[in-house]
Structure formats: structure tokens, C-alpha cells
Amino acid sequence: MDELQKTASTASQEPTPPAVEAEQHDSACGQEEACEPVVLTGTVVSPGAALGHAQMFAEGDLGIPHFSIEKTQTRSEFTRLRAAVHTVDKEFEELLADLRQEEDVPPEAIAFLELHRQLLNDESVITETQDIIREKLINAEWALSLKLEETRRSFEEIEDDYLADRIEDIAQVIERVQRVLSGRRRPADTVSRMMSESSVILVAEDFSPADILILKRRRDLSITGLIIEKGATTSHSSILARSLEIPTLVHVNGACEHIKTDDVLLMDADKGIVTVNPVQENLPLISKRMSKSSTSRLRQRRLRSAHCVTADGCAVSLMANLALPEDAKEAMTNGADGVGLFRSEFLFMNRPDFPSEDEQFETYAGVVKTMKGKIVTIRTMDLGGDKLPSREAMESIGIDPDKPINNPALGNRAIRFCLKHTDLFLTQLKAILRAGATGRVRLMVPMLAWVSEADIVQSYVRRAQEELKDQGVPYAENIQIGGMVEVPSAALCLKQFLKRLDFVSVGTNDLIQYLLAVDREDPDVSYLYDPLHPAVLSTLYNCINTAHRAGKEISVCGEVAADPVFAFLLLGMGLRHFSMESARILSIKEFMLASSAKEAAGLMRRIHRASTIQDIRKHILEYFADHEELADGFAVSQVPCASPWQNVKGAES
């Protein structure tokens, strides 16, 4: 048994836990003085508890050599570049071959490695790097760095977090090539462990999916947690950590400064806390949490094929939000009832041209095939504003890429962008209609604000169908057309929209932002972004009931759908269709199976009578205090504060 788990296990049975071995303590703290516990906080990526010794994953930057070359040396640099790419490609190939032979490998593991391999073999990256070598007469490592910075700048204006984080995938691939070129070993190969019998919590500025897989498969390491100083919740590394069920925190400020190799770490990834060199009295608690977390994960995995029905017999549909085609595999693995939102704009970003009809069709049809007969809802491109295609692509359709955008959230985006560039819109509609001939596909339009927009969309769908019919190409003749409720005008006029649409999905992320006039990314006002605001609850309740009266399906695909407390409130409002990130489906399913729709409705009736957000929160806390079995899997204390103004200087309580 692991050394630290032995200590924790023994501690949970004895009044005074035995001490951590002196030599382990001394290695981290020095022999003359005891370490003072340090508490760091981060953002939860994968929940759970972990106890282990810290292992710093990498120290310092890669240290890319920079030097000039003669014109006659360019060909040799080209050869070095392609040889290094070939070496990394072989590493990926061998790792993929090994993974495919193993049982219970998450599909995300293979998908992310395949994606990195595709990025590696993108000929444009190689040829453009060669152009830099030729023009600037510099070495291949340096040219790759310049190419990466050029690519990074093109990603800076992307609003969607998931898409913006894809630059890190490119950076990780380029760094692996640079390491080969400069003769540096991979970080995953340099990890060693002084405590031969202890669990390891890896600490780094960031990880690549390949590094996580290499380290996870090493038999000499027992990886129990990941602490990432930078990172992102939507990165492929984070998604992979969730799939592997490794407790993981990102945005842990000061991690690389305060943590040293062989420090004892107590990690509570449910609450986003890591304690460096904790006091022994906390060991019994963490041991209990680790056992409970492991049992919970095993229990939830058994629910993958179970139908989601509340304790009082109310059927609930839990669907997946997808940002990339490969996410469909994770959705199936986690038992999603279908795809409630497939974001299509990734196809249009970071490329010099726009995707063809055939390319889009192949992508959409691939997702439909992966979902094996389950519904796939494809959202038309949510482009424009500050989520822009490349400069070359914009210029090709007459957009000035240097034109300033004063308020991107209220600008020419989503359906407005589509109706200004109807050739692009028609191409996408035809691709979606063709995919609809291969399986169950629905079409959904973002950011509808005018009822006339729904009429215009339908006319373009009919036009796309006629063109496909004339071409003799199979297409969906009766595709369902839906819209997203993200703008207050759509929520207020929903009855009129539902006369024209087959279904609607509420995008709470934007709807809350527009309702409360709050940019949640702006730290000066983000404290005002509160889904428990009475106006938000009232708007959602009215939308759900309006859809039910019209006999139309309504779902919620924003982040609140995956929050247990808010999902319970939505259940009480009458919502029966939820869509969320795939990794959250099983925990929400377990929560719903134990919930009562009738009691949720009763809680909502009490909330409707509340006049302040303080009273709303009080009702929620009181309910879950009386139903501890429901609150067992999450922290009710994370319910938004009683007043967003409570921490504002000079505000009244």
C-alpha cells in the first residue's frame, strides 16, 4: 500500500496519527525547522481528493537556441526540421499502438493523440516554418518559435474558451519537435521519484495530453493528482484528466513557487484547495474523502446505460455539448442521450479559407455516425464580433480585419453574420441537410432576436433543399429547425418564435449576461453575474412554461444545466431536457435519480414568493440541509452568495 495512504488509513483509526517519516519531512523542509502549511487555491477540472508527494514536472523554459545561418545552410535546416517531425510522429505512433491494445482506455486519450499527430503532420506548418528559415536565415528551433507566436496572435481574439485553448495543443506539438531538434529530453522522461513507495501529485505550469498518458502508463509512478499553475478547464489536458478520473486543479497561482519536489500535498479538488505540508490532523479526513470519491466514481460509471428517471418517476434527457467532432466519443462513453449542442464554428477558425460543403458534411456525418442513432443538434456558425475567422478568410468575403469592434457581444455575430454572408450560410445549411440524410440531425440557429430572422432562416433552408434536390444529392427533407434563446427579446417573444420553430434551447451563459448587463469576463463587474437573480429565474420559468404550452421541446445548454443546485431548480420549473459538457453527465444523472421533481417544484414555488436573492439562497440552503443525501456529491456552500454587493466597500449588508 502507498506510504501516505498507510499513514492516512492508520490515522483514521487512531486518536493520534503516526508521524510522516522524518527523512521524508526533512527532504522537503530541512532538518532544523518544520514546514508551515501553505494553502493554495485553483479551479476544479476533475474532482476528488488526493494525498501524495509533490513532483515538479518541469523546471524553467525549454531554452530554445537562437542563431543565424548562412544561405547555403537552409537546406540542412529543412532536413533537420523534417527529421525531428518524423521522430515525434514515430513517438505518437508507438504510443497510439500501445494504447489501442489496452483495455478501458478513454476514447479521449486516443482522440487527443490523433489530433496532435494531425497537427504535427500539417504540411502548412512545415512549409511556413521553412519560409521563415529561408527569409530570416535562422535555425529551425527559432523559426518554429516565430511560427508559434504568429499562430498565437491569430488566436488571441477568439472569444470561445474551448477554441482559444486549441493554441496550447499547437504549442505542445511544436515544443516536442523543438526538444528533438535541440537534443532535450521530454519532461515526461525526466520525472523521477525519491520516495519509491509514495503516491505522486504532479505539479507543472502545464501538461500536454501525451505527457499525461506517458506518465500515467509508467509503472514506477502512482499518479494521484495534477496541479497546474496555468492551464485551462477546456484544454485537452483537462478533458483527458477528467476522463482518466485524476483529481486536477488548474489556475493554481503560485504552485511552482510554493511547492517543491517531495513536499507532502493534501489535495481537495472538490473545493479547489491544495495544502502544502498539511498538519497531520487532516490526514484522517482526506483518507475518508479519497475512499468516498473512489466509490462515487465507480458508482457513477455503472449508470452509463441507465435511463435518467427521477425518484418520483419523471423522465429526464441528458445530452452533450460538443466543441469538436472527437468529443462525440466522450459523449457516448458517458451515456449521453444525444447531442444538444454541436458548436460548428471550429471548422471556420484559424485557416486561410472557409470549409467546403464536402468538408463540413464529412465532419457532421462523422459525429452522426459516432452517436449511433442518437439525436445530433448542429448549431449554425456562431461567427463574428470577436470570434473571427483568419485575416485571409475575412478579406475573401469583404471584411476589413482591422476595423475596430466597439462592442463585440452586441455586434455582427451569429445569425446576423450568416444573413450578411448568405453564400457561406447556404453552404453550411446544405452540409447539415446532407448529414441529416445519414441519421437523426436537427439544425439550431444562435442569437435569434427578431421573429423575422426565423422566417428568413426557413426560407434559406428551403432554398438549400431545392439546390440539393436539383443536384440529385440525398438530404433531410423534414429536418427540425430550432433556435437559441440567448437574447432577452427572444425570451420575451418566445410564443411568436415557437410558431415558427420546432424546438428551442436556452443559452444561459449569454442570456444572463444580457439580462443583467454584466460582462462575466470583466473582473470589475463579474461579481454581479448571478444565475440566482430573480430576473433570471423568472425569465427561465416563463420560457419553460411557454414552450410547454406550445407543445414544443425546450432545453438548457448553458453552464447552469450541469450545476446540481441549478439543475434541481430547472427540474422544478418543469425542464426535462438538459445539455452539458460530457464529463458532467454521470454526476448529474446520479443526482437526478435521487431527486424528486415534485419536491423541486415545491422549492420553486417557495422561491417564486421570495423578493430578494438573499431569501432565494436561504430557501435553497434550507432544502439541501434537510436532504443531505442529495447534497452528498457537491458543496452546497458553493451556492452564489446572499448578495453580490456583500464584498463591495461601503455597501450595506
pLDDT at position 343: 92
**pLDDT > 70? residue 76:** yes
Tally Cβ neighbours within 10 Å of residue 257: 10
The arrangement of strands across the sheet holding 264-268 comes to 38-41, 273-276, 264-268, 49-56, 200-204, 223-228, 248-250, 43-46
Look up residue 67 and give its DSSP letter. -
- Considering only residues 444 and 653, tell me which one the structure prediction assigns the higher pLDDT: 444
**C-alpha neighbours within 13 Å on the C-beta side of residue 500:** 20
- Does 261 score more than 50 pLDDT? yes
Residue 76 one-letter amino acid: S
d(CA 263, CA 24): 8
pLDDT for 100 beyond 70: yes
Grid cell 462515487 in the structure block, residue:
296
Residues 6+ apart with CB under 8 A from 410: none
Q: Which residues contact 588 (CB under 8 A, 6 or more apart)?
A: 318, 561, 562, 564, 567, 578, 580
Which residues make beta-bridge pairs with 378?
A: 342, 443
Quote the pLDDT of residue 503.
98
Q: Which fold has domain 3-60+187-301?
A: Glucose Oxidase; domain 1 (3.50.30)
Which is more confident, 332 or 20? 332
Cα–Cα distance for residue pair 515/535, rounded to 1 Å: 8
**Catalytic-residue membership of 35:** no
Looking at residue 37, its pLDDT comes to 82
Task: Give, in degrees to the nearest 5, the angle at Cα 36 between 33 and 37.
Answer: 150
| Predicted pLDDT of residue 268 | 83
Q: If you count them, how many residues does the chain have?
A: 653
Does 463 have pLDDT greater than 90? Answer: yes
- Buried-state track 604-636, b at ≥16 Cβ within 10 A, e below 16: bebbeebeebeebbbbbbebbeebeebbebbeb
Express each pLDDT in 629-649 by its tens digit.
787 655 554 555 544 544 444
Catalytic residue among 256, 543, 557, 577: 557
State residue 1's pLDDT score.
Answer: 37
For the CA atoms of 270, 275, 278, 281, the dihedral, rounded to the nearest 10 degrees, stands at -30
- Whether the pTM exceeds 0.85: the reply is no
Spans of all domains in the chain: 3-60+187-301, 71-182, 317-611
Catalytic-residue membership of 256: no
- Secondary structure of 463-500 in the HEC alphabet? HHHHHHHHHCCCCCCCCEEEEEECCHHHHHCHHHHHCC
AA identity, residue 329: K
pLDDT at 317: 98
CATH superfamily of 317-611: Phosphoenolpyruvate-binding domains (3.20.20.60)
pLDDT at position 33, please?
46
Predicted local confidence at residue 611, as pLDDT? 84
Answer positive or negative: Cα dihedral of 69, 74, 76, 80: positive
- Cα-based torsion angle of the residue sequence 591, 8, 241, 243 in order, rounded to the nearest 10 degrees: -50
Structure confidence at residue 642 (pLDDT): 44
Of 116, 236, 421, 533, the active-site residue reads 236
What integer best gives the mean pLDDT of the chain? Answer: 82
Mean local confidence (pLDDT), 586-590 = 92
Which of 116-125, 214-223, 549-558 is least confident? 214-223
Q: When comparing pLDDT for 135 and 60, which is higher? A: 135
Percent of the chain past pLDDT 90, that is, above it, reads 38
Least confident of 98-107, 459-468, 524-533: 98-107
Residue 526: pLDDT band by 50, 70, 90 thresholds? confident
Joined grid coordinates for residue 283 = 490526514
Tell whether domain 71-182 is in CATH 1.10.274.10: yes
Please write the tens of the pLDDT for every residue from 164-186: 666 777 777 888 888 788 776 55
For the residues 224-251, what does the mean pLDDT come to? 79
Reported as a single tens digit per residue, the pLDDT across 593-608 is: 999 999 999 999 999 9
pLDDT in the model for residue 497 = 98
Q: If pLDDT is split at 50, 70 and 90, which confidence band does 35 have?
A: low
179-212 pLDDT per residue, tens: 788 776 555 554 544 433 458 888 888 877 777 7
Average pLDDT over every residue of 425-452: 97
pLDDT at 619 over 50: yes
Q: What is the mean pLDDT of residues 337-361?
A: 91
Residue-by-residue DSSP string for 554-605: EEE-SGGGGSHHHHHHHHHHT--EEEEEGGGHHHHHHHHHH--HHHHHHHHH
- Band (pLDDT 50/70/90 cuts) for residue 223 is confident
Do residues 145 and 177 lie in contact, with contact meaning Cβ atoms separated by under 8 Å? no
Q: Measured between alpha carbons, how far is 532 from 641 in angstroms, rounded to an integer?
A: 9
Q: Find, among 577, 530, 37, 18, the residue nearest to 340 by Cα.
A: 577
pLDDT score of 296: 73
- Structural contact between residues 95 and 113, judged by C-beta atoms closer than 8 angstroms: yes
Tell me, what's the pLDDT at 184? 60
Q: Which of 412, 481, 423 is nearest to 447 (CA)?
A: 412
